[in-house]
Each structure stands twice: as C-alpha cells, then as structure tokens.
C-alpha cells in the first residue's frame, strides 16, 4: 500500500493526475504492455499507462472541441476580396490505421465574400481536426469544408504536406517520402489562375 501511495504522489508531482475516464484507458494500456511481452509493474513502466493516457487524450482533444467555440465569434465583415493565405501551419496528427503520427505543414487560402476569419483562428481550426485519429485526405477536406461553411467565401484552397511514420518506421520504410493532399473549392477549383496563384505562393515559401 505504501508503494502505491508513493507512486501516486510521484505521479501528481509529475503532472499525471488521473482524469475522469482515464481508468479504463489505463487498464487497456497495461494489457497492451503485457501483450507486447513487458511487465507493466516494473519501475520504468509503472506510470507509463497514465502518461500514455494523458498523451492520447491531448492528441485526440479535437473530438472534444466545438468549431464555433474555437472560432469564438472571430468572423469579421471586411470589404476585402483578395486572397488570404495562412501557410506553413504545423500539423501533428495520428494515422487512424496504425495509430502512428504523421506531421508536416498545412497551407490555407480563401477569397472572402463578405467575412474574414481572424488569422490566429485558422491554425486553431486546423488543430481541431488534426487532433483526432485521421487520414490526411479527410483532414484536408474537413478544414476546407468548414471554412466554406462558416464564411461562405468565393473559394477555399487547402494543401497539406506530411510525413507518415507508418511509411517511415514500418511498411515500405521510405524515410524521404512526403504525402501531399489538396482540397480546392469554389473559385480555387473553377479558375485555374486562382488555383495557380495559391500554389505558386505556397511553393515560394522560405
């Protein structure tokens, strides 16, 4: 009993308080460690289930976020009808097929009709969908469709370039492979010149 209490104290000091709903996840992680041939009660793994539970809750926090609350009213009426681009947004997500990370950069552009989104909200919107179990293709379209739905712009373009650990660490083991996905809506799909302007600005990043 004393050992258990001391481990609890150490866990709290380490910022590993047990959050609601973590117990079942921790038990599952202990089972996973045993199935992998490990002993979850050895010193190095004693708090690993709790650490991993906290980590997974954070990495999938997008499930518990509401897009409207994230945007928090940061939609502004502005007389501006030129392209708005936020590029090189860092993206970290988990592949739903292997639960391994994929990471890279996201580039978002839109041409307003009547409203614009506060610039700091676009990376937050990307995180809402990235912090879930994902495939890159769906992540790309979710970002584009949400912006289209919220401000009804003339068009939206989203490009994601990412490296997938399920390809780098296992499988084909190609360390330099990069997956590129795009979603083009409205004028970005219909007008070649608009689409090429966006892509050229993305390619021209430092």
Q: What is the CATH number of the domain that holds 22?
A: 1.10.286
Residue 44 and residue 111 share a domain: no
Q: What are the angstrom distances between the C-alpha of 103 and each of 12, 26, 97, 100?
A: 30, 26, 15, 10
Confidence (pTM): 0.87
Residue 97 and residue 23 share a domain: no
Q: What SS3 class is residue 6?
A: helix
Residue 180 and residue 107 share a domain: yes
Q: Is 82 noted as a catalytic residue in this protein? A: no
Residue 188 and residue 105 share a domain: yes
Residue 74 and residue 55 share a domain: no
Residue 13 and residue 104 share a domain: no
Q: Is 22 noted as a catalytic residue in this protein? A: no
**Catalytic-labelled residue, pool 38, 166, 191, 197:** 166
d(CA 180, CA 146): 20
pLDDT of res. 16 = 62
CA atoms within 13 A on the CB side of 108: 28
Residue 74 and residue 46 share a domain: no
**Catalytic-labelled residue, pool 17, 96, 137, 196:** 96
Residue 35 and residue 121 share a domain: no
Residue 164 and residue 107 share a domain: yes
Residue 32 and residue 72 share a domain: no
Residue 192 and residue 121 share a domain: yes
Query: What string of pLDDT tens digits covers the 206 residues of the chain?
Result: 444 444 555 555 555 665 556 789 999 999 999 999 999 999 999 999 999 999 999 999 999 999 999 999 899 998 899 999 999 999 999 999 999 999 999 999 999 999 999 999 999 999 999 999 999 999 999 999 999 999 999 999 999 999 999 988 887 777 778 999 999 999 999 999 999 999 999 987 54
Report the domain count for the chain. 2
Domain interval for residue 198:
67-203
């Amino acid at each position: 009993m004393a050992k258990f209490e001391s481990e609890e104290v150490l866990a709290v000091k380490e910022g590993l308080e047990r959050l609601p709903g973590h117990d079942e996840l921790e038990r599952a992680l202990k089972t996973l460690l045993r199935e992998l041939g490990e002993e979850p009660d050895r010193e190095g793994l004693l708090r690993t289930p709790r650490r991993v539970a906290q980590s997974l809750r954070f990495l999938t926090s997008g499930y518990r976020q509401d897009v409207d609350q994230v945007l928090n009213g940061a939609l502004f009426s502005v007389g501006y009808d030129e392209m708005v681009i936020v590029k090189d947004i860092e993206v970290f997500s988990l592949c739903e097929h292997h639960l391994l990370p994929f990471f890279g950069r996201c580039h978002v552009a839109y041409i307003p009709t009547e409203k614009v989104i506060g610039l700091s909200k676009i990376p937050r919107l990307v995180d809402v969908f990235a912090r879930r179990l994902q495939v890159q293709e769906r992540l790309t379209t979710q970002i584009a469709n949400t912006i289209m739905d919220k401000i009804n712009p003339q068009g939206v373009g989203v490009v994601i370039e990412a490296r997938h650990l399920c390809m780098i660490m296992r499988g084909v083991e190609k360390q330099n492979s990069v997956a590129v996905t795009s979603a083009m809506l409205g004028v970005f799909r219909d007008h070649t010149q608009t689409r090429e302007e966006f892509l050229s600005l993305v390619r021209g990043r430092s």
